[in-house]
Amino acid sequence: MLDKDLHIKELYDLKHINDNEIHKGFDYEENLMNRTLSTVMFKNPTTSDFITKLKDLLVLTIESNLIMRNFFNYTVPKYYNRHNN
């Protein structure tokens, strides 16, 4: 998400046209809150709306940690995201 937002959409799609879905890990951008929280919390509409608003913040937090993982690895770009989470 963070890497995708930094680039022009067409150029990002062209650069990542051959990316395989096989090498993708857990899809935390969509399933993070559904898998970690109770389903009872999503039954209340107010709580559900609040949780969906927090999802983007948590995804950015996870992706910033992935950037720190690559910070000292000089063989890959800083926003390299082809590893499994």
Count of domains forming the chain: 1
Please work out, in degrees rounded to the nearest 5, the angle formed at the alpha carbon of residue 56 by the alpha carbons of 50 and 57: 85
| Residue 18 maps to a domain | yes
Task: Answer yes or no: is 78 within a domain.
Answer: no
Instruction: Going residue by residue through the chain, which has 85 residues, state the pLDDT in tens, using 9 for 90 and above.
Output: 666 777 788 888 887 777 665 556 667 788 888 888 889 999 999 999 999 889 988 888 887 776 666 666 667 666 665 555 4
* pLDDT, position 12: 80
Give the domain extent around 55.
Answer: 2-71
pLDDT on residue 43: 92
Q: Is residue 84 part of a domain?
A: no
Q: What per-residue confidence (pLDDT) applies to 50? A: 92
Sign of the four-CA dihedral 10, 14, 17, 23: negative
- Is the separation of the CB atoms in 75 and 69 below 8 Å? no
